[in-house]
Structure 1
Amino acid sequence: MKHLSRFLVASLLVLGFSTANAQDENNPWAVSIGVNAVDIFPTGGDLPIQGEIFDEFFNASDHWNILPSVSKLSVGRYIGDGFTFTVAGTVNKIDKLGETPDGTQVSADDLSYYAADARISYSLKNVLKTGWFDPYLGVGGGYTWVDEVGAGTLNGSLGFNFWLTENLAFNLQTTYKHVFEDYAASNYPPTHFQHSAGITFAFGGKDTDGDGVFDKDDECIDVPGLAEFNGCPDTDGDGITDAKDDCPDTAGTAEFNGCPDTDGDGIADPKDDCPTVAGLANLNGCPDADGDGITDAKDGCPNEAGPAANNGCPYQDKDGDGVLDKDDNCPDVAGTVANNGCPEVTEEIQKTLNEYAAQVLFDSGKSSIKAQSTKVLNDIIKILNEYPTAKFTVEGHTDSQGAAKSNQRLSDSRANAVKNFLTENGIDQFRLSAVGYGEDRPIASNKTRAGRAQNRRVEINLVK
């Protein structure tokens, strides 16, 4: 075919342009191949072979010139906001020039047809809010050769892309090409329509992380994600993207920013010190069965309320005297509240003590205790041990025989001798004091032998 090199040049020109005809910015590049048909008749031209505008527009059998092979190639690039810029190269063979007013068909001897065109088109897909149906309007210009004659054209286009997939579309287009120059009937190209049909393949969208969401729409460009989350991942599948998920590896709920609440106590597991057991918010999700403010795990008595100072256990009263052990100075011996839980020395006990103390015997004129007094002293120790917090005074007394000063010394020595025996046998020394009164506090007459015997004595009296 003559002038085939012109078509090749036009095709290379098309491939060299940074233009597009794609679905959108995600697939900015598009390549289309197909067939074209040239129709000179329904253009409203001045030549006798041209009819009124759109006259017999679809009369393909009488007026359309079609080359039965791939005869159109276009390449383009999406510009933005619905606009694309496209360049196309076409080749055809003209053997139908139109018809005379009397209806006679006018033929030609296989004139060669070549065209290189460019256009700006606007997609109505977003206006119509459709996904697969993509009509567009275009305006542009180009240069057309019919055999040896060429001319510039002003082009207006109407086309339709029917998107079969995201990248593949079936394309239909018709273009009105207005020739600027005036030509005689024997000179071409005249003003004409050019129709085309073909397949469009859109490509070029960048998807850095390979998740099927193009970078333009991918909010997590470097991490594979899901389309419903604009390309961001949801590792645990709980419907919350990892970037907003406080627990990205464990499924949770939106209420807890993607974290679970295993025990259902309203506290998210990461903030729950007891995530598998329902508990209280003020105890970081741990239970407190007895309500004493101490978590069961740290409560020595989880089912009995007690103070923290006693490890969550109630204070005991082991001796049952009504004074808690913590306040009981004698926790093992029943006492009285007035005496801080310790038993009080009654008058009867006091009397018994002094009955025993009166039986303590000393060597004559000395402070040494006779051996036979050991038993009675041990009886005194038993009584004193029953009142562990009571304090006593050991008092020494003499009769009036002899010098008063000597009697005083003797009473002091004997009182201290009894005190020392008691402390040496287990009585706390701080509970006892010793004092001698000499002959100053007789309890009987010193004029009789029996009276003097009663006055020579030791007493053990409670300090009140």
Structure 2
Amino acid sequence: MKHLSKLIALSMVVLGISSASAQDSNNPWAVSIGTNAVDFYPTNNGAPLSNGFLDEYFNVGDHWNILPSVSQLTVGRYIGAGLVAEIDGSINQISDFGDRAVDDLSYYSVDGSINYSLRAMLNDGWFDPVVGVGGGYTWIGDQDGEDLENLDAATLNGSLGINFWFTDNLALFVESKYKHAFDPKMGQHFQHSAGIKFMFGGTDTDGDGIYDKDDECPETPGLPEFNGCPDSDGDGIPDKDDECPNTPGLAEFNGCPDTDGDGIADPDDECPETPGLAEFNGCPDSDGDGVPDKDDECPDTPGLAEFDGCPDSDGDGVPDKDDECPEVAGTVANNGCPEPTAEIIKELNEYSNTVLFDFNKATIRSESEEALNSIVEIMQEYPKTTFHIGGHTDSVGSDKYNLKLSKERAASVREYLVEGGIPANRLTSEGYGETRPIASNSTDAGRQENRRVEISLQEEE
């Protein structure tokens, strides 16, 4: 108990001295506890490197003074560039003072040192050799005899040691320290130590267990595998390198997902839920016509870009979807259906001019059926064209009678064409009587020309 109380008191001195040093929040502290052995013999009470200096250095049984308990406390602070400042206090009992037996002399020492770690030179592994230099003060007392009366002296120290790091914070250490006393009576000696070292004291602003000096994201809680940076979406890519930090993604896309698996990251994919092509920013082109589906009004049928991906089968400039006659070339004005030319209208009228009626009647004579059937065939080639049938007379008779007769004859022709297969909504008829002559009514020949049925295109109202 006597030695324990002295060690505690000495520890308070050590802690007090060390805490007086300016702390660097980013440089951790270390506390070591262990046991020590003091050996006066190998120095042969002579100068280092002299004859006999290291005689029987490992003769533990004959010369080492060991206190079998916790007998040393060390506090250290890393100061950068591999250097560590340490201060330690130790106690022991001396029963062998070199080759002299003494009666359990008390041994106390306080030492300070600057140590250099070779760990960085060895790739920061678990093996950490350390060399050091420093000084201290040693007391020896409670002895009888004239030569050893309560000795105390300052010492100049040099040390060699090894730290074996089990974790970033915990190590087993061994050390051998040579102490050159400035009082010859004290005797030069070695002090050997072994124990456990615990590192602590660095600043961890974000509380993630990683000191700021090692934390690439010191103000945001993170993970050790990412040097203290977070991975919010848990995709294995730290937020600082993740272009989509809140959505799990892939490393090849810098942390962004590729939902449809088309090799284009969702932020760059205009169709992120449908596999597509790079040239269309991730959108598909189902029909392979060079127009992506999102812009293709006919996505399942190859078409033309000018028609928003729809085909124009008959090449008339009207896409099939708007073409009322998709397999027959027509005109834009007629919704893709063909329109009869002037030649076609002329041909229709060549037939219509041969249509004969009973005298003063609207009844079509049988010999006119062949001409009317030809008219039906021609009109069927223009399924979207509306034709107008006009009836005309000569000037013989009253105007009223001639008007009535012309209307009836035009209606008769219309009825025949409807029965022949032309939709009724594509035919109109009207009678004009004698109002639109095309020849003189003064001659038989002229009056014959004026008695006619004309076919024309229905004019839009």
Residue aligning to 2:415: none
Change (3 A) 1:95 1:265: closer
Structure 2 residue 115 is the aligned partner of structure 1 residue 117: no
* Alignment equivalent of 1:191, drawn from 184, 188, 191: 188
Residue aligning to 1:171: 173
Question: How much has 1:214 moved relative to structure 2?
Answer: 3.0
Structure 2 residue 352 is the aligned partner of structure 1 residue 353: yes
Mapped to 2, the partners of 1:236 and 1:433 lie a distance apart of 89
Residue aligning to 1:369: none
Question: How much has 1:155 moved relative to structure 2?
Answer: 1.0
Residue aligning to 2:287: 290
Counterpart of 1:156, as a letter, is G
Counterpart of 2:108, as a letter, is Y
SS of structure 2 residue aligned to 1:312 = coil
**More deviation, 270-279/60-69:** 270-279
Question: How much has 1:277 moved relative to structure 2?
Answer: 3.9
Give the total of aligned pairs: 413
Residue aligning to 2:303: 306
Do the aligned residues in 1 keep the contact of 2:232 with 2:245 (CA within 8 Å)? yes
Mapped to 1, the partners of 2:201 and 2:133 lie a distance apart of 24
Q: After superposition, where does 1:252-267 map in structure 2 within 5 Å? A: 252-267=249-264
Mapped to 2, the partners of 1:5 and 1:280 lie a distance apart of 80
Residue aligning to 2:414: none
Mapped to 2, the partners of 1:77 and 1:346 lie a distance apart of 113
Give the TM-score normalised by the residue count of structure 2.
0.70
Give the TM-score normalised by the residue count of structure 1.
0.70
Q: After superposition, where does 1:233-248 map in structure 2 within 5 Å? A: 233-235=230-232, 238-248=235-245
Mapped to 1, the partners of 2:112 and 2:280 lie a distance apart of 74
Residue aligning to 2:57: 57
Do the aligned residues in 2 keep the contact of 1:393 with 1:435 (CA within 8 Å)? no
Counterpart of 1:162, as a letter, is F
Residue aligning to 1:402: none
Do the aligned residues in 1 keep the contact of 2:36 with 2:72 (CA within 8 Å)? yes
Do the aligned residues in 1 keep the contact of 2:108 with 2:138 (CA within 8 Å)? yes
User: What whole-Å deviation, never above 9, does each CA across 1:46-102 have from its counterpart, x for those lacking one?
Assistant: 59xx98311222222222222233221111111111111111111222232223xxx
Do the aligned residues in 1 keep the contact of 2:28 with 2:199 (CA within 8 Å)? yes
User: What whole-Å deviation, never above 9, does each CA across 1:413-439 have from its counterpart, x for those lacking one?
Assistant: 96899689979x987799x99964598
Mapped to 2, the partners of 1:158 and 1:360 lie a distance apart of 142
Question: How much has 1:253 moved relative to structure 2?
Answer: 3.2
Q: After superposition, where does 1:302-451 map in structure 2 within 5 Å? A: 302-307=299-304, 309=307, 312-314=310-312, 315-316=319-320, 322-324=328-330, 326=332, 328=334, 331=337, 339=340, 344-347=344-347, 349-354=348-353, 373=362, 386=379, 388=385, 397-398=394-395, 436=436, 440=440, 442-444=442-444
Mapped to 1, the partners of 2:222 and 2:254 lie a distance apart of 19
Structure 2 residue 214 is the aligned partner of structure 1 residue 220: no
Question: How much has 1:169 moved relative to structure 2?
Answer: 2.0
Counterpart of 1:216, as a letter, is K
SS of structure 2 residue aligned to 1:34 = strand
Question: How much has 1:462 moved relative to structure 2?
Answer: 6.3
Question: How much has 1:36 moved relative to structure 2?
Answer: 1.8
Residue aligning to 2:133: 139
Residue aligning to 2:83: 83
- Greater gyration radius: 1
Mapped to 1, the partners of 2:177 and 2:350 lie a distance apart of 136
- Which runs of 5 or more structure 1 residues have no equivalent in the other structure? 100-105, 362-371, 400-406, 446-451
Mapped to 1, the partners of 2:73 and 2:298 lie a distance apart of 88
Question: How much has 1:247 moved relative to structure 2?
Answer: 3.6
Counterpart of 2:132, as a letter, is G
Change (3 A) 1:8 1:237: closer
Change (3 A) 1:455 1:75: closer
**More deviation, 162-171/68-77:** 162-171
Question: How much has 1:3 moved relative to structure 2?
Answer: 9.7
Do the aligned residues in 2 keep the contact of 1:357 with 1:457 (CA within 8 Å)? no
SS of structure 2 residue aligned to 1:173 = strand
Do the aligned residues in 1 keep the contact of 2:289 with 2:309 (CA within 8 Å)? no
Question: How much has 1:174 moved relative to structure 2?
Answer: 1.6
Mapped to 1, the partners of 2:108 and 2:284 lie a distance apart of 87
User: What whole-Å deviation, never above 9, does each CA across 1:171-195 have from its counterpart, x for those lacking one?
Assistant: 21121111224x4xxxx42322222
Mapped to 2, the partners of 1:306 and 1:395 lie a distance apart of 49
Residue aligning to 1:368: none
Change (3 A) 1:115 1:329: closer
Question: How much has 1:117 moved relative to structure 2?
Answer: 1.0
Question: How much has 1:15 moved relative to structure 2?
Answer: 0.9
SS of structure 2 residue aligned to 1:216 = helix
